[in-house]
Structure 1
Amino acid sequence: MEVSPFVIVFAIFSIVSSGPVLQGRATQENSGANLEYFLVETSPGVYEVEDLVNSEITVLAAEADIVYYYFNQNDTLVGTEILSTNIAALGDTEFSTDLETVFLIHGWNGNKTAESNTELTEAILAVHNVNIIVVDWSAFAINNYISAKSSVDEVGEYVANFIQSLVDTSDLDLSTVTLIGFSLGAHVAGNAGAGLDGQVAVIIGLDPAGPLFSVFNTDERLDSDDAQFVQVIHTSTLLGYDLPLGNADYFPNGGTAQPGCGIDVVCSHERAYIYYAESVLASTNNFVALQCSTYARYIFGTCIGNDESVMGGYPVNKTANGSYYLNTNNASPFA
């Protein structure tokens, strides 16, 4: 989910049980799976209900409606438009398969200029000489949430097709590809990775969306089989998926709400890409996390001596495995 043009201010969870509660965090249902509705601020002081139960699924977009934008260190702001029907246009840019390639994928109501895209494009290119391709799937993402969510697997398939075309026409090596997705975009990245048989090098899920995503249905969401390595940063219980999804999952401040955000759940949700951007820009990644089974055990110090790992960064720490916890500051610099 992206902030603009909507701001989510409140959420109600269904009290209807989805079945027996299993023991252990990794086997419990994601708390957003049974979310029935939330409120969105459509204009200052005006709120509407986003119904997740009775809304009609409306998708009028097609594969050709997804637009890709190529960026590099010489162009971090505008980008070159590339269509799936005209991939050859990349030949007129500085795109090079000698460099690593990073795909950025926005969330619900986002587009090319979503803050998650612009901040990460500038942060990564400020430090690393790579190809960046922003995936604009706004033709699908501008629909109501349930429609956008229902499009995730389809959009992921289209992105996989685009990447496969680069493999076929430009000799792109999937071992040099990283997919970074925010909110619903994290699940798009997962589906794209699955469509490429899990052969992309890395997927980074930035607070993957939680509402309506089940722990049991791995085919529609991000999971550890979608890439050679999957790192996930969890920052919001209400809007994000609050259970482990990847090879390494990081839960800053417990992963429920972020300091300095108060009751603003969107603020906590967005901290995922803000933390990631800082982790890339910093001369030293100081988001040091400790492997632990729960945040309570981390706070009480019972995990001291366990494996340490830095959250985020580029490239990410691929030796990490399991769930990691850390605390942050309530304002920048957060590490």
Structure 2
Amino acid sequence: MKIFISLVLFLAFSTALPVDTDESEYLLYETEEGRIEVEDLNNSTIEAYATENDITFYFFTSTNKDLGVEIKESQLHDIIKLTGFDVRKQTLVIIHGWKNHFESPVNDVIKSAAISHHDINIIVVDWSPISGKNYVTAKNAVVRVGNYIGNFLLRLKAELHKSLSRVTIVGHSLGAHIAGNVGAATNGLIDNIVGLDPAGPLFSERNTDNRLDPTDAKFVQVIHTNDGRLGFGINMGDVDFYPNGGRSQPGCGLDVTGSCAHSRAYTYYAESLVNNEFIAYLCESERDFNRDRCTTNSKSRMGGFPVDKKASGEYYLNTNSRPPYALGD
């Protein structure tokens, strides 16, 4: 048997290992609960099509930091009374990926870091009725899910006169591509999108209609941590950050499936919301960066809130192998 570890997405504390045989390709992955599952990629069918009922929005504010308030479209006119939502403040929208849900670590670590250090509105999106299906189903749903979230934000804008220029969307893996589709559905009105190791399997460079690209918001930042395996190994933003080269991450050990490195994208981002000391250098390549050829180039901070919109191009940096990961100056 020949092992391929770049065909299927793994998200947040699970491990995935696609195995190729003469007849079909199988995915072995470990769920968050520690179960080992097998998925036949070639014979996977779309189990369900996404509908608005598959997407739930949980609102957090400075007066409601711990327990998210679930909001339906019909409740938008009462959102201020129900949640304490403040139209004057910035809003951070968090979107998880495959096999994740509302209470998954990707949502929790970002939400907790953001709400404890920034006076902003936070919306956590749960699309687990679809993300919990097979990978083909989840991947093929990113456009529909993005459109539904985009329509929700447009209705929020119409109901409360909430400017989308004060909205940041952050998505991990498949959630990064959903974020891109949200931006497209809102005609690029979103202020900025942060793509955390956007998913690579089954996406193509030429087709930008179903994935994240620089036109999806006024500014797009991408953080690469597992390029060429679980992440998509191309530049996808106005600025692309490559911590430790963007493929593997220190402290992850052998990391055969890439799961540890893939999850580091949201771990780094969450830390950057608390104390952004991820200093990166503009550089043409990882090789030049490792040879200290970029130390006099322009610098930028990876992640953070708000993001550095002056940065453009490829930026490289190193991190520690354990928290705190940022090295600072």
SS in 2 for 1:39: strand
**Partner residue, 1:206:** 196
**Partner residue, 1:112:** 102
Where in structure 2 are the equivalents of 1:303-318 lying within 5 Å? 303-318=294-309
CA–CA distance in structure 1, aligned partners of residues 36 and 128 of structure 2: 22
SS in 2 for 1:220: coil
Q: How many equivalent pairs are there?
A: 312
TM-score calculated relative to the size of structure 2: 0.90
Where in structure 2 are the equivalents of 1:187-198 lying within 5 Å? 187-198=177-188
The answer as to whether partners of 1:174 and 1:201 remain within 8 angstroms in 2 is yes
**Partner residue, 2:237:** 246
2:313 is the counterpart of 1:322: yes
Provide, for residues 167-208 of structure 1, a one-character-per-residue CA deviation record: whole Å limited to 9, x for no partner.
111101011010011111111100000111111100001111
The answer as to whether partners of 2:241 and 2:302 remain within 8 angstroms in 1 is yes
After superposition, the Cα gap between the structure-2 partners of 1:120 and 1:152, relative to the gap in structure 1 and judged at 3 Å, is same
Instruction: Report the CA distance between 1:291 and its aligned residue.
Output: 1.1
Instruction: Report the CA distance between 1:229 and its aligned residue.
Output: 0.3
Task: Tell me the amino acid that sits aligned with residue 73 of structure 1.
Answer: S
**Partner residue, 1:266:** 259
2:224 is the counterpart of 1:215: no
Provide, for residues 151-176 of structure 1, a one-character-per-residue CA deviation record: whole Å limited to 9, x for no partner.
00000000000000011111010110
Q: Aligned to 1:78, which of 67, 76, 93? A: 67
Structure 2: segments with no counterpart, 5+ residues: 1-9
CA–CA distance in structure 2, aligned partners of residues 321 and 56 of structure 1: 40
Instruction: Report the CA distance between 1:76 and its aligned residue.
Output: 2.3
Q: Aligned to 1:173, which of 163, 167, 190? A: 163
Provide, for residues 237-261 of structure 1, a one-character-per-residue CA deviation record: whole Å limited to 9, x for no partner.
3111121100000010111011101
Instruction: Report the CA distance between 1:270 and its aligned residue.
Output: 0.8
2:113 is the counterpart of 1:123: yes
The answer as to whether partners of 2:91 and 2:120 remain within 8 angstroms in 1 is yes
The answer as to whether partners of 1:103 and 1:134 remain within 8 angstroms in 2 is yes
Structure 1: segments with no counterpart, 5+ residues: 16-34
Q: Aligned to 1:164, which of 141, 146, 154? A: 154
The answer as to whether partners of 2:49 and 2:141 remain within 8 angstroms in 1 is no
CA–CA distance in structure 2, aligned partners of residues 14 and 177 of structure 1: 45
**Partner residue, 1:226:** 216
Provide, for residues 78-136 of structure 1, a one-character-per-residue CA deviation record: whole Å limited to 9, x for no partner.
11001234323413221011111111001111111111111111111111111101111
After superposition, the Cα gap between the structure-2 partners of 1:9 and 1:311, relative to the gap in structure 1 and judged at 3 Å, is same
Instruction: Report the CA distance between 1:53 and its aligned residue.
Output: 2.7
TM-score calculated relative to the size of structure 1: 0.88
Task: Tell me the amino acid that sits aligned with residue 71 of structure 1.
Answer: F
CA–CA distance in structure 2, aligned partners of residues 134 and 67 of structure 1: 8
Q: Aligned to 1:51, which of 35, 40, 47? A: 40
SS in 1 for 2:321: coil
The answer as to whether partners of 2:12 and 2:106 remain within 8 angstroms in 1 is no
**Partner residue, 2:3:** none
The answer as to whether partners of 1:67 and 1:84 remain within 8 angstroms in 2 is no
Instruction: Report the CA distance between 1:40 and its aligned residue.
Output: 0.5
Instruction: Report the CA distance between 1:54 and its aligned residue.
Output: 2.3
CA–CA distance in structure 1, aligned partners of residues 99 and 33 of structure 2: 17
The answer as to whether partners of 2:130 and 2:138 remain within 8 angstroms in 1 is yes
Task: Tell me the amino acid that sits aligned with residue 50 of structure 1.
Answer: E
Task: Tell me the amino acid that sits aligned with residue 38 of structure 1.
Answer: L
CA–CA distance in structure 1, aligned partners of residues 18 and 274 of structure 2: 33
Task: Tell me the amino acid that sits aligned with residue 48 of structure 1.
Answer: E
The answer as to whether partners of 2:282 and 2:294 remain within 8 angstroms in 1 is yes
CA–CA distance in structure 1, aligned partners of residues 187 and 259 of structure 2: 33
RMSD: 2.1
CA–CA distance in structure 1, aligned partners of residues 120 and 100 of structure 2: 23
Provide, for residues 41-60 of structure 1, a one-character-per-residue CA deviation record: whole Å limited to 9, x for no partner.
25988643333332111115
The answer as to whether partners of 1:248 and 1:320 remain within 8 angstroms in 2 is yes
